[in-house]
Amino acid sequence: MKNIPLIKLNNGIEMPQEGLGVLNAGKFEDVKMAVLDGLDIGYRMIDTAQIYFNEEAVGAAIKESSVDRKDIFLTTKVWIANYGYENTKKSIQTSLEKLQTNYLDLVLIHQPYGDYYGAYRALEDLYDEGKIRAIGVANFMPDRYVDLVRFSRIVPAINQSETHVFYQQNELKKYLKKFGTHLESWGPFAEGRNNFFTNETLKKIGAKYDKTGPQVALKFLTQNGIIIIPKSVHKERMQQNLDIWNFKLSNEDMDAISQLDTGKTLFFSPHDPSTVERFAKLTKEMKQK
């Protein structure tokens, strides 16, 4: 098993700094095999979500795996359609059943829209009841994040946000540090956008360490204390993503990669009204089904 460092969260529990993401990982059997392969080569953190529609496959894989449930850090996220205090509590029970477990290690509020306050209150109570070991948010930019922190009982342990070499979230990190929340990166490879896989800076630095550009990009994030969940359904790629814990980037290399930051999203801005409209439309369509 790879020696993946553990990050201590603000409530004292620990989670692996690298895990396996399963967004768009395919159909049931594809997701199940990806999780089984991931656990087999050393991953001990799996990140899913209600909106991924693959919690059943993740649960089946964990059940079938030889890895004990207590040794797996399992994350899911509550989708907007399930916001509101009572709806969120019901949806978590459904997630527990789909994942075939009686507790969750981390549950996040997936987007900062709708009645996310009611949803977060439900997570706080489920945390108090011991059904969730840690709670947090995703895609909360500084304003929404600080607002939630200031008007909630429990400070989020995690804020999972778009974070990669082209969008390093320096402003957000200032506020997360102030209140003791860890940043978790989704999209650490920028999903190949902005010519990520052929970036000359990353390739040049990688050659010095006999590593690939993507491995350098992951190392840059983790060396900055960020938690990562790179997604892959190919075992050899998963292995490559794990092979970042046996080298360290120099200060010069870290500075060079820092210069790649554009300060702009490559996907969507939570502040853009069109983003809100898109998620509202999707949520309405889901409720009508």
Q: Are 188 and 163 in contact (CB under 8 A)?
A: yes
The number of CA neighbours under 13 Å toward the Cβ of 131 is 18
Q: For residue 150, how far is the Cα from the chain centroid?
A: 23
Looking at the annotation, which residues are catalytic? 52
- Is 110 within any annotated ligand binding site? yes
Token pair for residue 80? 């907007």
Distance CA 252, CA 52 (A): 39
Q: Are 39 and 80 in contact (CB under 8 A)?
A: no
β strands within the chain, DSSP E: 6-8, 14-16, 20-21, 45-47, 73-78, 106-109, 135-138, 158-162, 182-186, 227-228
Distance CA 249, CA 252 (A): 8
Residues near 54 by Cβ (< 8 Å), separated by ≥ 6? 22, 25, 28, 31, 48
Binding residues for substrate: 110
Binding residues: 110
